[in-house]
Amino acid sequence: MLDGTLVELQNVGVKRESRWLVRGVSFTVDKGEIVTLIGPNGSGKSTTAKLLLGVLDANEGTVNRRKDLVVSYLPQSLSIDWTLPIRVDHFMKMTGKVSDDEVRSALDSTGAEHLFKEELRVLSGGEFQRVMIARAISRKPDLIVLDEPVQGVDFSGLVELYQLIESLRDELNCGIVLISHDLHIVMAASDNVICLNGHVCCSGTPKSVSESEEYLALFGRQVEPGLALYKHKHDHTHDTDGALIDIRENSRITSNIDQ
Amino acid sequence: MFDDFFYRALLVGVGVAIIAGPLGCFVIWRRLSYFGDTLSHAALLGVALAFLVEINFTLSVFIVSALVALFLIYLRAKTSLPSDALLGLLAHSVLALGIVVLGFMTWVRIDLLSLLFGDILAVSMYDIWLVFLGGSLVLVILVTIWRPLFADTVSHDLATAEGMNPQRARVIFTLLLALVISISIKVVGVLLITGLLIIPAATARNVSSGPVQMAIISTVVGVIAVVCGLFSSLQWDTSSGPTIIAAALVLFVLTLLPLRRAITLVADYSAKLANRGS
The answer to whether B188 and B120 are in contact (CB under 8 A) is yes
pLDDT digits (tens, 9 = 90+) for A169-203: 888 889 999 888 776 666 677 788 887 878 877 77
Contacts of B29 in chain A (CB under 8 A): 81, 83-84
Calpha distance A233→A244 (Å, rounded): 15
The answer to whether B8 and B124 are in contact (CB under 8 A) is yes
Closest by CA position to A89, among listed B245, B75, B211, B195: B211
Could you please report the per-residue DSSP string of A96-123? S---HHHHHHHHHHTT-GGGTTSBGGG-
Mean pLDDT within A41-49: 85
Share of chain A above pLDDT 70, in %: 72
B4-277: CATH number: 1.10.3470.10
- Per the DSSP assignment, residues forming a β-bridge with A36 are A178, A193
Closest by CA position to B217, among listed B229, B203, B227, B199: B203
pLDDT computed for residue A246 by the predictor: 58
pLDDT computed for residue B150 by the predictor: 93
Mean pLDDT within B8-19: 91
Share of chain B above pLDDT 70, in %: 96
pTM score of the predicted model: 0.80
Domain borders along chain B are: 4-277
Lowest mean pLDDT among A139-143, A234-238, B84-88, B161-165: A234-238
Choice between A239 and B61, residue whose per-residue pLDDT is larger: B61
Mean pLDDT within B89-116: 85
Asked if B158 and A75 come within 8 Å (Cβ–Cβ), the reply is yes
Q: Mutating which of B150, B155, B275 best tests the A interface, going by the most A Cβ atoms within 10 A?
A: B155
Asked if B160 and A80 come within 8 Å (Cβ–Cβ), the reply is no
pLDDT computed for residue A245 by the predictor: 61
Contacts of B150 in chain A (CB under 8 A): 94
Contacts of B211 in chain A (CB under 8 A): 84-86, 90
